[in-house]
């Protein structure tokens, strides 16, 4: 199979490595913005050739869109304008509502499969690509009923070969749940980093004392704005909804601390503990 990957950063680059490592692609064509990143991606072996978007889509059996989510809907339309059976187009973006709405009435809608592998790290760009990504993590496929049977089957087989369990959802449902489980965690982490950078003027102390749990809550704050601004704005209404609840929970804890309310605080923490029945 010849695969074209538009965007050879953390996600696209790691998919490229996974496909090569498992012998799932004969040739990988790639696209990157800017000469420097393109050269870097080639040098890192993330693509065999750098091509234009049009060349890539036309030549490849499978086109993968792995650019920031605000660029995906238009690229999806442009790709669908050019593909014919049995070619398939997928995206790997973290939001699906707008994308699925934009391509809904496209004559070639059936050739598109909306895919979200629940894997990532806080790093970005071609150098962030790693071997062994995706395996063991769930991959969400959205609106499977709108895909041509053969296109869906190709993608299901491909992701099964990457050892990622598949689950199925509507696009709206996907955006709701990822707001709860992924997007809010990033906001919290960004805000926590800024809180500490604002209050703690002496870097040395953060560095020395950070054993106390700080790294784990703030790790995601290294994530890039190029990736995350589009995600937070595309999933605006769900994100705002969860963010309001999160601020409310923090205000509840604040009031309990102010009033020395041992019992209330204990109950809140005990309730939070029950997250361990889900996350081990």
Are residues 168 and 144 in contact, defined by beta-carbon separation less than 8 angstroms? yes
Are residues 137 and 166 in contact, defined by beta-carbon separation less than 8 angstroms? no
Q: Could you tell me which stretch among 10-18, 38-46, 60-68, 117-125 binds a second copy (CB under 8 A)?
A: 117-125
Q: How far is the CB of 186 from a second copy (least distance, A)?
A: 6
Binding status of residue 218 toward a second copy by CB under 8 A: yes
Q: How far is the CB of 165 from a second copy (least distance, A)?
A: 8
| DSSP H or E segment with residue 140 | strand 139-142
Binding status of residue 23 toward a second copy by CB under 8 A: no
Q: Which of residues 195-214 bind a second copy (CB under 8 A)?
A: 195-200, 203, 205-214
Binding status of residue 243 toward a second copy by CB under 8 A: yes
Binding status of residue 161 toward a second copy by CB under 8 A: no
Binding status of residue 233 toward a second copy by CB under 8 A: yes
Identify which of 149, 148, 2 has the alpha carbon closest to the alpha carbon of residue 80: 148
Helix 262-273, helix 236-258: angle, nearest 10: 140
DSSP 169: E
Q: Which of residues 36-95 bind a second copy (CB under 8 A)?
A: 94
Q: What is the DSSP string of 38-73?
A: HHHHHHTTS-SEE--HHHHHHH-SEEEE-S-TTTHH
Question: Whose structure tokens read 């809550």?
Answer: 217
Between residues 85 and 163, which has the closer beta carbon with respect to a second copy? 163
Binding status of residue 171 toward a second copy by CB under 8 A: no
Between residues 87 and 164, which has the closer beta carbon with respect to a second copy? 164
Q: Which of residues 245-264 bind a second copy (CB under 8 A)?
A: 245-247, 249-251, 253-254, 257-258, 260, 262
Binding status of residue 242 toward a second copy by CB under 8 A: yes
d(CA 199, CA 201): 6
Return the sign of the alpha-carbon dihedral for residues 91, 96, 98, 102: positive
Between residues 49 and 222, which has the closer beta carbon with respect to a second copy? 222
Binding status of residue 177 toward a second copy by CB under 8 A: yes
Binding status of residue 160 toward a second copy by CB under 8 A: no
No. of helices (H) and no. of strands (E), the chain: 13, 8
DSSP 180: I
């Amino acid at each position: 199979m010849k695969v074209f990957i538009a965007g050879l950063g953390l996600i696209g680059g790691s998919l490229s490595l996974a496909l090569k490592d498992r012998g799932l692609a004969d040739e990988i064509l790639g696209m990157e913005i800017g000469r420097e990143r393109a050269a870097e991606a080639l040098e890192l072996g993330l693509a065999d050739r750098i091509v234009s978007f049009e060349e890539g889509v036309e030549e490849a059996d499978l086109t993968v869109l792995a650019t920031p989510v605000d660029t995906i809907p238009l690229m999806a339309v442009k790709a669908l304008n050019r593909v014919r059976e049995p070619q398939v187009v997928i995206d790997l973006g973290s939001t699906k509502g707008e994308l699925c709405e934009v391509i809904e009435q496209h004559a070639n809608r059936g050739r598109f499969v909306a895919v979200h592998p629940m894997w990532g790290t806080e790093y970005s760009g071609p150098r962030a690509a790693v071997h062994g990504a995706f395996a063991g993590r769930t991959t969400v496929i959205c609106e499977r009923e709108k895909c041509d049977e053969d296109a869906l089957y190709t993608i299901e087989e491909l992701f099964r070969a990457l050892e990622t369990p598949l689950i199925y959802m509507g696009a709206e449902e996907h955006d709701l749940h990822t707001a709860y489980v992924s997007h809010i965690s990033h906001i919290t982490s960004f805000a926590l980093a800024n809180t500490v950078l604002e209050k703690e003027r002496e870097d040395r102390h953060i560095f020395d004392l950070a054993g106390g749990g700080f790294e784990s809550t703030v790790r995601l704050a290294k994530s890039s704005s190029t990736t995350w601004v589009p995600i937070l704005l595309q999933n605006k209404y769900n994100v705002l909804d969860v963010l309001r609840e999160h601020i409310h929970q923090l205000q509840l804890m604040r009031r309990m601390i102010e009033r020395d309310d041992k019992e209330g605080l204990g109950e809140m923490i005990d309730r939070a503990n029950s997250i361990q029945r889900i996350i081990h």
